[in-house]
Amino acid sequence: MEDIKTSWDIVELSRQQDRMTGHELIDLIFEDFIEFHGDRSIGDDKAIVGGIASLKGKPVTVIGVQKGKNLSDNIETNFGQPSPEGYRKALRLMKQAEKFNRPIICFVNTPGAYSGATAEERGQGSAIATNLLEMSGLSVPVISILTGEGGSGGALALSVANEVWIMENATYSILSPEGFATILWKDGSKAKEASELMKMTAKDLLENKIVDKIILEYNGEKKLTNEEIANNLQEELEKALDRYSLMSKEDIKLNREIRFRKY
């Protein structure tokens, strides 16, 4: 039945406010989550949540983009658009994970990195660039899961991972279809047409080997509950991390490098 959905249908589904947030996913999948705050430089970006938790008894570092479920949440979390200090907080937690040899799991759902004046003043480009560079060298396994919108460099900055998974109705793209249509045709209202060309749905992305796995949101026609999706994710994560636990640090790095060298 998924075949009936157009790319635009999926774009709209990926943006729905009732999708699980970073916080919800973390609470459903892990135990003993302790949230850590701040980039140790200028502030604490609420668009990114992160900390340590256990996955079936094993310590992990978890990081998620936090999109709100209503307007007041969204004002606090800036509609899931991280600022430079958010990316720096994420990186701080990743380096901490590396020190203590913990796997890293990222949940990504962002329309894009924040594009306000403060973001430029605080070096949004530099913050993303640093994350890409540092993530490329992490010696612990990283699994990133696109759970809603995967918007551009802002999503990539949490997705230089050994494995990139995507939820059935999530997207990943170079830019929003609206932005894409504006740049190429000077007409943002052609977003629908743009979305068809952009190959941004889970199915297209798997075909193009941009993602490694699709996490189902439906069983046939039946929509899975949040708990069911989280249980599946928990099982998949456990299996994946078991695989990486047998690999040396060098091999974990090499595995990630080979994954991205093919592009």
Partner 1 sequence: MSLFKAKKKYIRIKPSDYMGDDTVSHLDVPEDMFKKCPHCKNIIYAKDMGDEKVCPCCGYNFRLSSKERLDNICDEGTFVPFNEEIEPKKTFDFPDYEKKLEKAKENTGINEAVVTGFSKIGGIDTAIAVMDAGFIMGSMGIVVGEKITLLFEEATKRKLPVIIFAASGGARMQEGIFSLMQMAKISFAVRKHSEAGLLYVSVLTDPTTGGVTASFAMDGDIILAEPGTLVGFAGRRVIEQTMKSKLPKDFQSAEFVLEHGFIDKIVKRDELKDTLWKILKLHGTL
Residue 47 is encoded by which pair of tokens? 């668009």
Under rule CB under 8 A, residue 117 binds partner 1: yes
Side by side, the strands of the sheet bearing 213-215 are: 31-35, 48-55, 58-65, 104-110, 142-150, 163-167, 213-215
Q: Which residue, 169 or 195, has its beta carbon nearer to partner 1?
A: 195
Q: Which residue, 39 or 51, has its beta carbon nearer to partner 1?
A: 39
Stretch that binds partner 1, among 36-44, 98-106, 152-160, 218-226 (CB under 8 A): 152-160
What is the rounded distance in angstroms from the CA atom of residue 197 to the CA atom of residue 199? Answer: 6
Shortest Cβ distance from residue 258 to partner 1 (Å)? 9
146 - beta bridge partners?
Answer: 108, 166
Q: Mask of contacts with partner 1, 64-103, x by CB under 8 A?
A: ----------------------------------------
Shortest Cβ distance from residue 173 to partner 1 (Å)? 6
Number of H helices, E strands in the chain: 12, 9
- Of 148, 156, 122, give the one whose Cα is nearest residue 67: 148
Q: Which residue, 21 or 173, has its beta carbon nearer to partner 1?
A: 173
Distance of CA 5 to the CA centre of its chain: 23
Choosing from 8, 73, 74, 132, the residue that interacts with partner 1 (CB under 8 A) is 132
Q: CB–CB of 39/45 below 8 Å?
A: yes
Choosing from 35, 38, 100, 137, the residue that interacts with partner 1 (CB under 8 A) is 137
**H helix or E strand, kind and range, residue 165:** strand 163-167
Residue list 160-219, contact with partner 1 (CB under 8 A): 160, 172-175, 179-180, 183-184, 197-200, 205, 208, 210
Q: CB–CB of 141/121 below 8 Å?
A: no
Residues of this chain that bind partner 1 (CB under 8 A) = 113-117, 119-126, 128-130, 132-133, 135-137, 152-153, 156-157, 159-160, 172-175, 179-180, 183-184, 197-200, 205, 208, 210, 256-257, 260-261, 263
